[in-house]
Structure 1
Amino acid sequence: MSTLPKIEPADATEPTAEVLAEVKKALGSVPNMAKTMANSPALVRGWLALSGALGGGVLPAPVRERLALATAEYNRCEYCLSAHTFIGSKVAKLDPDEIERARHADSADAHVAALLALSDTIARGRGTIDGAALSSARAAGVTDAEIAEVVGNLALNILTNYFNILADTDNEFPVVAPHEA
């Protein structure tokens, strides 16, 4: 059971109703995470703004979904693993092997693998990485814009992972459990 109440759009008052309408307009539906985040309309707006901005960046949706899967696995967030496995499969059209590889910060695509390795290194180092990791990413063709957006996606994914773990958000997606540690 969730540790924070879920606010249904039909029951919401302003400004919560307005922000949930923004979520529905942006996503086509209002996931339980947004309903739970709606305890703070400012948080929902921040999540939507960062997600929308990164959606217009250089990293395409299938890469962003892989980054989300790797971070959710690392942080052991069942809600985000479930959501991004579903979105990765149905929307980004990732095959099951690529979804599984992403959970291990890997990809059959060398460039995507370099992005995932970089994100994983940043997460595990809490922002600190050595020059060799950055050189390795650049040698694989990772651009400065991609490096910056990896950090942005990592921040977005840590936000949603930590929120959903703390809130114990009710999972409306087919359940995907983290691998055993």
Structure 2
Amino acid sequence: MSALPQINPAEATGEAATLLAELKKSIGPVPNMAKAMANSPALLKGWMSLSGALAGGVLPGPVRERISLATAEYNRCTYCLSAHTFLGKKVAKLDEDEIERARHATSADPHVAALLALSDAIARGRGTVDEAALKAARAAGVTDAEIAEVIGNLALNILTNYFNIVADTDNDNPVVVTPHGHA
């Protein structure tokens, strides 16, 4: 059972009701994470705003899903790992091999692999990344805009990972039972 109550969109009031209705209109069924985030309309609004802004950036959906998978795996967030495995398959059209590779912060596509390696280096360094990692990314063709958005997507995913771990959000996707448990 979730450590935070999930606000039922039909029973929500005030700004939470407005945000949950907006979310339902844009994506359909409201995920349990958003229902739990509705305990703080400021948090829900922030997540929705950052997610929407990054969706309009230079990184395409399949790349963002791979970053989400790698981050959820690293942070051992079963909720996010399950959600992004589902979204990776159904929305981003990633095959099983690419989903598994993303969980290990790699890809068969060299450019995507460079983006994931950079994201992983930033996560493992807690924001500190050596010049060699940046040079390797740039040598693989990663642009400054992509570097900036890797950081933004990483931050968005750390937010949702930590939120769902602390809230113990009830999973509303087919569960990926266990993260691989990378050190």
**Cα shift at 1:86:** 0.1
Query: Residue 49 of structure 1 corresponds to which residue in structure 2?
Result: 49
Per-residue Cα deviation, 1:80-124 (whole angstroms, up to 9, x for no partner): 000000000000000000000000000000000000000000000
Whole-angstrom distance in 1 between the partners of 2:29 and 2:38: 14
Query: Residue 178 of structure 1 corresponds to which residue in structure 2?
Result: 179
3-state DSSP class of the match of 1:11?
Answer: coil
* Count, aligned residues: 181
Query: Residue 22 of structure 1 corresponds to which residue in structure 2?
Result: 22
Whole-angstrom distance in 2 between the partners of 1:142 and 1:152: 15
Whole-angstrom distance in 2 between the partners of 1:42 and 1:22: 14
**5+ residue gaps, structure 1:** none
Correspondence list, 1:1-181, <5 A: 1-176=1-176, 177-181=178-182
Amino acid at match of 1:32: N
**Cα shift at 1:29:** 2.0
TM-score, normalised relative to structure 1: 0.98
* Overall identity of the aligned pairs, in %: 78
Quick check: 2:54–2:153 contact (8 Å CA) kept in 1? Answer: yes
Quick check: 2:121–2:129 contact (8 Å CA) kept in 1? Answer: yes
3-state DSSP class of the match of 1:15?
Answer: helix
Whole-angstrom distance in 2 between the partners of 1:25 and 1:54: 19
**5+ residue gaps, structure 2:** none
3-state DSSP class of the match of 1:179?
Answer: coil
**Cα shift at 1:32:** 0.4
Q: Which aligned runs of 4 or more in structure 1 are off by greater than 4 angstroms? A: none
RMSD: 0.7
TM-score, normalised relative to structure 2: 0.97
Whole-angstrom distance in 1 between the partners of 2:155 and 2:25: 23
